[in-house]
Chains A and B, each alone.
Chain A
Amino acid sequence: GNSVTQMEGPVTLSEEAFLTINCTYTATGYPSLFWYVQYPGEGLQLLLKATKADDKGSNKGFEATYRKETTSFHLEKGSVQVSDSAVYFCALRNSGNTPLVFGKGTRLSVIA
């Protein structure tokens, strides 16, 4: 079956530190990959996505590259800010409108 594994948190970083949140997946076929973010008190928002191997998704300084050979989609940001404090979810979708399969989420806290 399809599954997503992401590093467990919480992750605590100082402002301007480099961020990596690891995500690996198991899927049949060629899934699309996503990172969603949930800021405190808010709903889930799409952060970035990649739909095929070697694609790089990017948004708000965050990046993730779809690596088929390692079945990974690690999230990175070069310099985090306090406002990046949130819970980050890696997810996959196998095709079309099928439901998303999520990882368990990683809580990030950035301190000034």
Chain B
Amino acid sequence: GAGVSQSPSNKVTEKGKDVELRCDPISGHTALYWYRQSLGQGLEFLIYFQGNSAPDKSGLPSDRFSAERTGGSVSTLTIQRTQQEDSAVYLCASTLEVSYEQYFGPGTRLTVT
């Protein structure tokens, strides 16, 4: 079946611009996660959605970052006023509650110039 998809696969933006990154989780998966993979920092948790509960935003690095999940499915991560340190690969994962295994998308590589 279809896996987790993310778009765009690559995004180059100028410092100060806003960007939106999209994640389509596996159909039926109840939980959705955003992580960031940057050089020297490994993989960092950003935000987590579980069903209809309020999201866990504890990993967001600043108030320039926000995310929403519409209809319990597609999620959009928005970064406002991008900075060069935001350059990273942004990964999305989803999980079917029963198995708890997280399935990752291919990521969006964001480059801020």
Residues of A within 8 A of B (CB): 32, 36, 42-46, 49, 89, 91, 93, 96-105
Give how many B residues have a beta carbon under 8 Å from the other chain's beta carbons: 26
B78 at the interface (CB under 8 A from A): no
Q: B43 and A105: CB pair below 8 A?
A: yes
Q: A43 and B105: CB pair below 8 A?
A: yes
Minimum CB distance partner of B45 in chain A: A99
Dominant SS among interface residues on chain B: strand
Q: B104 and A43: CB pair below 8 A?
A: yes
For A104, the chain B residues whose CB sits under 8 A away are 40-42
Give a binary string over B55-91; 1 marks a CB under 8 Å from any A CB, 0 the rest: 0100100000000000000000000000000000001
Which of A44, A101, A102 gathers the greatest number of chain B CB atoms within 10 Å? A44
Q: A89 and B104: CB pair below 8 A?
A: no
Q: For residues 22 through 75 of chain B, which have their beta carbon under 8 Å from a beta carbon of chain A?
A: 30-31, 33, 35, 40-45, 48, 50, 56, 59
For B100, the chain A residues whose CB sits under 8 A away are 32, 93, 96-97
B80: min CB distance to chain A, Å = 23
Q: A97 and B107: CB pair below 8 A?
A: no
Other A-B pairs beyond A102-B43, A104-B40, 20, CB < 8 Å:
A43-B4, A43-B104, A43-B107, A44-B93, A44-B104, A45-B104, A46-B101, A46-B102, A89-B42, A89-B43, A91-B43, A97-B31, A97-B95, A98-B48, A99-B35, A100-B102, A102-B42, A102-B44, A104-B42, A105-B42
For A97, the chain B residues whose CB sits under 8 A away are 30-31, 48, 50, 95, 97, 100
